[in-house]
Structure 1
Amino acid sequence: MNVNFPFRFDGRGRTQDPRDDYLRQLVEQVLFTSPGERVNLPDFGSGLLQLPFAPNSIEMAAATQFAVQGALQKWLSGYIKVMSVVASAEESLLTITVTYAPLSTGVTQVQTFVYGGNG
């Protein structure tokens, strides 16, 4: 684990735990890695970027949530408990909000990941 120095503070004014950044990076890797992309782990990832996001529908939102939540539970169940996944797509911008609790602390974390756009 990489401990940052000097210490940083989180949004609550408390010392930021470096594990928070580590877990966020793990979640991001699972979300944005496509199955088949990693040679030694061919089924790693969520397949999120392969889902057709147009047109948006209740069914597509449910399929996205199911696929992402399943992948997070499969690959990160030893680190986090996934509470919810919300996906939305507007034009070329994909936004995923994941609510989870690290098993080590049980403190709920809400992370938003954005993919695409003109950035």
Structure 2
Amino acid sequence: MNSPLWIDFPLHFDARGRTAETSYADHVLDMIKQVLFTTPGERVNRQDFGCGLLDLVFEPNSVELAATLQATTAGALQRWLGDVITVQRLEVTAEESTLRVDLSYVLVETGEERTEVIEGGIR
């Protein structure tokens, strides 16, 4: 039996001209990136979706900012993906116009442990 494939994000076409597909683990990573880099208010029918990390990039680095980034990110991942992942470790750092998220998590469905480094900058 073949495992199901998921639509890749962002939506695009593969070499065959079909909707590109991805694995479950990559689909979950795509969802994590959407939560992290979507600013609340950005989605029309889900105004509270996201965590607003990009809004804090140019704030002065401080212990308070680091704590805010950690809490905001952890809360958003729990709220939006708590039924999909269990966060093991989370570290958010901001340097100039780039955010770096070091994340270790377990896929609830498969028990697979994953570690990702996700970087994003100001749009």
TM-score higher than 0.5? yes
Match of 2:31 in 1: 26
Give the unaligned 5+ runs of structure 2. 9-21
SS of residue matched to 2:30: helix
Give the unaligned 5+ runs of structure 1. 5-16
Match of 1:2 in 2: 6
How well do the aligned residues superpose, as a CA RMSD in angstroms? 2.0
Residue 53 of structure 1 deviates from its aligned partner by 4.3
With normalisation by structure 2, the TM-score equals: 0.76
Match of 1:100 in 2: 105
Contact 2:54–2:121 at 8 Å: present in 1 too?
no
| 1:44-103 residue CA offsets vs partner (Å, 9 max, x unmatched) | 001111125432122211110100000000000111111222111222221111211110
Residue 29 of structure 1 deviates from its aligned partner by 0.2
Number of matched pairs: 105
Match of 2:120 in 1: 115
Q: Give % identity.
A: 42
The one-letter code sitting in structure 2 at the alignment partner of 1:98 is: L
Relative distance call for 1:32 and 1:3 in structure 2 (3 A) is closer
